[in-house]
Structure 1
Amino acid sequence: MAWCQEGQQRSHFFPKKNIRDRLIFCRKYSEWTAEDWGKVIFSDEAPFRLFGASGKRLVQRRKGERYHQSCVMPTVKHPDTIHVWGCFSSKGVGSLTILPKNTAMNKEWYQNTLQQQLLPTTQQQFGEEQCIFQHDGAPCHKAKVITKWLGDQNVEILGPWPGNSPDLNPIENLWSILHKY
């Protein structure tokens, strides 16, 4: 029998500004219905290791099973990591895109990702119906050129998104599931 431990729970330190911003955000959207949230397309980027899993793995084994295949976790010293952008809404998941190796996640890459991934996903999921796009406050998301481009595309933004608030974004639950595999 094998079992795993993913690591200890951690909590963020929230400066007063972050607490205030989270409270403002929550009050602003506290009256929203499930139908309102159903119009939101959530997005984020996440890193994924290509070999092995992150975190500590504990294995229970019986006497004589020390080197049994089910009790051994292969590892590599420096596994490659990829960064993935994705989105989803109540209508389904969008496509994923991988940040090319040795490429910075910058405003040019982000605008291209929005053009190639977000717009087709919103068209497929919402058609002519207006939806609301959520992205966090990463520097490339807040760049003036991105804000202007989103405005030119008539993309409505959910926000302002409070800083250091991944717990408010339901896409984190999808990333958590994908990290297990």
Structure 2
Amino acid sequence: MSLFQSRPGVSASARTVRRRLLEDGLVSRRAAKKPLLSKKNIRDRLIFCRKYSEWTAEDWGKVIFSDEAPFRLFGTSGKRLVRRRKGKRYHQSCVMPTVKHPDTIHVWGCFSSKGVGSLTILPKNTAMNKEWYQNTLQQQLLPTTQQQFGEEQCISQHDGAPCHKAKVITKWLGDQNVEILGPWPGNSPDLNPIENLWSILKRRVDKQKNPLILTNSKKLL
């Protein structure tokens, strides 16, 4: 009889229930997080996947993926685990200091199968806008493309952030003959492998006493 079926007159301790759950392979885990998708998001993702479903690893190797990411200048970007003895919860070695409104810097980066590009670090508490983005493409994307691919054909990827879709950016990309992968579906960070790179970089930055080590991305990567 299943553990969850009613059995009159039978009781079980919490320990017994946990053991049975483990025996049945039901282990307590944090719920997986994923973007909340609208019907339009789902439709656009399906269109995107069908468009590139026949691409080979060689085809994807010609794509330069790019994105912006925030980094906190105080505290860690994720959760910190510590080992402590009973009664030592607030010992200095077991506490992670926090502030209400930590300063944040935004960075832009790119990478391809050939390696990582350099980072652009915006001034503290400044987010990317179309002026910054065009300058970043000029100063970072084009040199990275030339360094990694030379005269070989490649494709650039970016998401649908407002500064990416600005008319001045679209015109600039056309003038520079930069081919863009897409159209990129909205609310789809899980499709961009650079998110994995950001996760690695944030963990490494969290281990540094000085977050400004970001100025040398290749040292961290």
- TM class, shorter-length: 0.7 to 0.9
TM-score, structure 1 as length reference? 0.83
Cα offsets for 1:56-96 (capped at 9, x unmatched):
54534113644555322233332110011000000000010
Output one character per residue of 1:137-172: Cα deviation in whole Å (capped at 9) or x when no partner. Answer: 011101111111111111110000000000000000
Question: Retained in 1: the 8 A contact 2:67–2:110?
Answer: yes
Alignment identity in percent? 98
With over 3 angstroms needed to count, the CA separation of the structure-2 counterparts of 1:102 and 1:64, relative to structure 1, is closer
Which blocks of at least 5 consecutive residues in structure 2 are unaligned?
1-38, 202-221
Which one has the bigger strand percentage?
1
Unaligned runs of 5+ in 1: 1-15
Question: What's the CA shift for 1:100?
Answer: 1.9
1:27-55 deviation digits (Å, cap 9, x = unpaired): 00010000000000000001110111145
Between the aligned partners of 2:78 and 2:106, the Cα distance in structure 1 is 18
Pairing 1:169–2:192 present: yes
1-structure distance, mates of 2:196, 2:126: 26
Counterpart residue number, 2:172 = 149
Distance 1:27 1:43 in 2: 22
**Offset from partner CA, 1:77-129 (integer Å, 9 cap, x none):** 32110011000000000010112235452211110000001001111111111
Kept after mapping to 1: 8 A contact 2:64/2:156: yes
Taking the aligned partners of 1:157 and 1:72, their CA distance within structure 2 comes to: 46
Q: Is the 8 A contact 2:104 2:125 kept in 1?
A: no
Q: Shift of the alpha carbon at 1:174?
A: 0.7
Q: Which structure has the larger Rg?
A: 2
The alignment partner of 1:22 has SS state of: helix
Preserved contact between residue 68 and residue 107 of structure 2 (Cα < 8 Å): yes
Query: Does the Cα contact within 8 Å between 2:106 and 2:127 map onto a contact in 1?
Result: no
Partner SS state of residue 76, structure 1: coil
| More moved, 55-64 vs 103-112 | 55-64
What's the secondary structure of 2:48's corresponding residue? Answer: helix
- How many correspondences in the alignment? 163
C-alpha distance in structure 2 between counterparts of 1:157 and 1:94, whole Å: 17
TM-score by length of 2: 0.69
SS in 2 for 1:157: coil
The structural deviation recorded for 1:177 is 1.2
Secondary structure of the structure 1 residue equivalent to 2:105: strand
Pair 1:67 & 2:107 matched: no
CA distance in 1, matches of 2:120, 2:83: 37
Partner SS, residue 86 of structure 1:
strand
